[in-house]
Amino acid sequence: MKSGARVQFSPEKVAALQARRQRIIKALNGGLLLAASRPAFHKYDSSYFRYRQDPNFYYLSGLYTEDQGVVLLVSGDKPQSILFVEDRDSATEIWNGPMIGLDGAAQLGFDQVFSIADLPRVLPELMQNATMLYTDRQHHEGVERILNDIVYRQRIAFDGLEVRDFWGFLGDFRLIKDAYEVELMQTANRISAAAHKRCMQDAHAGMTELELQALLELEMKCGGSPFTAYHSIVASGSNNCCLHYNVNSCKLEAGDLVLIDAGCAYEGYASDITRTWPVDGHFTDDQRAIYEIVLKTQKSIIDMVKPGVKIPDLQEATIKMLTEGLIELGVIKLSYEDARKNDTFKAWYPHGVSHYLGLNVHDAGRYVVEGQRRPLEAGMVITIEPGIYIQPGSPYADGRWHGIGVRIEDDILVTADGYRNLTHCPKEVAELEALR
Ligand code: GLY
Ligand code: MN
Ligand code: MN
């Protein structure tokens, strides 16, 4: 009989976690940081939604399983990292599988591991000397409960202790990826790119978007990813113009463009890739003309990526390139100034060109720091995802353009002297046509 799913942790993972926790402890400056695992979300009866660990707890512990736990990072005179986990319980293990337990948790490289039953004793002791407790009580009912039980009921004992939300503090660490994280994100991208490519090769008119989604996600699972990073968008025809289309139920028709915006998560890290291609292997002239504007824009904006550049500057350049491209093609019959005025361009380009990517698809990290728009830094991973969507019935374009929707999205690592594109997936017109 197989022994189930006791988790093994690689030495690289443990070393990366230890280094990460040390960096954070250093920055805590006399404070404590407490992060708790996420409870399972109940669906109905004895069913729960597919479990997803809290990304902050996972970032600090490396523990993705359903075991309930708390990470405590302690700075000051005796800096240390502590993990509290549930004790193993044979009844729970019969229903839900092997638990991590204290022995398993001891592999994760913490200075100390305790049973979660010890938290009410250990936490107040450590709080005696702390000036600041960083946690996420606004976002997490598990932490809220712990704080209510331990901190607030006994608050008289911790007079000087300030409790602060950790999202900004911890988000700034999560924003800069270490080498271990970059490798995981590269793997997530490799798996997702293979899944996109399989869809490009095997799609045909008459297939449903849902069948194509199944093929995409089969390939992701066979590649080693248990989750998609978000609900896969598998659109065809004018469905491409709906940004977060997720009905995925129409039939692909000859002459359609297919737009798939999908990425797997690997070891918790998201990929986020969009490709748009013709179901029968040939772009019409009009589809190709729009596609080439988006592709040229995407490549130019990727080439702008380097430390010091700001995401709003990338967005402004995207608005300009897409809109001028449409004006030159004769699709939009306004001047650029008129199209830019009053956000009219949002009729064909309504979203942003970039967001942070990491444990969440729209990842943690502040976009504005002390009132200033944050420049890119080496170690950030961002998306570059321009798109043009000529909505059916659009008053800005003739009917022949209506229903054409194109987005192209890659995941980009900012490096010391520029960028590295993590997404290797066909996007040139000739490549896409040759794949069929
Ligand atoms: N897939 C969601 C996004 O591209 O932001
Ligand atoms: Mn995206
Ligand atoms: Mn996307």
Residues 118 and 70 sit within 8 Å (Cβ to Cβ): no
Predicted confidence at residue 159, as pLDDT, reads 72
Predicted confidence at residue 1, as pLDDT, reads 44
Q: Work out which ligand 1 atom sits closest to the CA atom of 262.
A: 1
Query: Both tokens of residue 22?
Result: 């040390």
Number of alpha carbons in the 13 Å side-chain half-sphere of residue 26:
7
Mean pLDDT score across all residues of the chain: 94
Closest listed residue to residue 321, CA positions, set 305, 288, 297, 345: 297
Closest listed residue to residue 162, CA positions, set 137, 124, 123, 133: 133
Q: Work out which ligand 1 atom sits closest to the CA atom of 409.
A: 4
Position 249 pLDDT exceeds 90: yes
Angle (CA) 358 364 366, round 5° = 130
Which residue type, as a one-letter code, is found at position 410? D
Burial class (CB in 10 A: 0-12, 13-18, 19+), 344: middle
> Cα–Cα distance between 359 and 404 in angstroms, integer?
32
Helix (H) / strand (E) containing 163:
strand 162-165
Q: What is the pLDDT of residues 102-161, one digit of tens each?
A: 999 999 999 999 999 999 899 988 988 888 999 987 778 888 888 888 877 766 566 778
Q: Whose CA is nearest to atom 3 of ligand 1?
A: 272
Q: Work out which ligand 1 atom sits closest to the CA atom of 229.
A: 1
Pocket lining for ligand 1, CB < 6 angstroms: 230, 261, 272, 355, 361, 385, 409
Q: What is the pLDDT of residues 8-66, one digit of tens each?
A: 899 999 999 999 999 999 999 999 999 999 888 888 888 888 888 999 999 999 999 88
Residues 150 and 117 sit within 8 Å (Cβ to Cβ): no
DSSP tag of 117:
G
Position 2 pLDDT exceeds 70: no
Angle formed by the axes of helices 11-28 and 179-202, nearest 10°: 120
Q: Please give the distance, rounded to the nearest whole angstrom, from the Cα atom of residue 347 to the centre of ligand 1.
A: 18
Closest listed residue to residue 380, CA positions, set 353, 411, 352, 425: 411
Q: What percent of the chain has pLDDT over 90?
A: 83
Q: Please give the distance, rounded to the nearest whole angstrom, from the Cα atom of residue 276 to the centre of ligand 3.
A: 12
Q: Whose CA is nearest to atom 4 of ligand 1?
A: 272
Which residue type, as a one-letter code, is found at position 42? H
Q: Please give the distance, rounded to the nearest whole angstrom, from the Cα atom of residue 381 to the centre of ligand 2.
A: 11
Q: Please give the distance, rounded to the nearest whole angstrom, from the Cα atom of residue 361 to the centre of ligand 1.
A: 7
Closest listed residue to residue 300, CA positions, set 278, 328, 319: 319
How are beta strands 387-389 and 405-407 bridged, if at all?
antiparallel
Q: What is the pLDDT of residues 314-370, one digit of tens each?
A: 999 999 999 999 999 999 999 999 999 999 999 999 999 999 999 999 999 999 999
Q: Work out which ligand 1 atom sits closest to the CA atom of 274.
A: 4
Q: Which domains does the chain have, with CATH numbers?
A: 11-174 (3.40.350.10), 179-435 (3.90.230.10)
Residues 380 and 356 sit within 8 Å (Cβ to Cβ): yes
Q: Please give the distance, rounded to the nearest whole angstrom, from the Cα atom of residue 410 to the centre of ligand 2.
A: 8
- The residue with greater pLDDT, 396 or 143, is 396
> Cα–Cα distance between 258 and 407 in angstroms, integer?
10
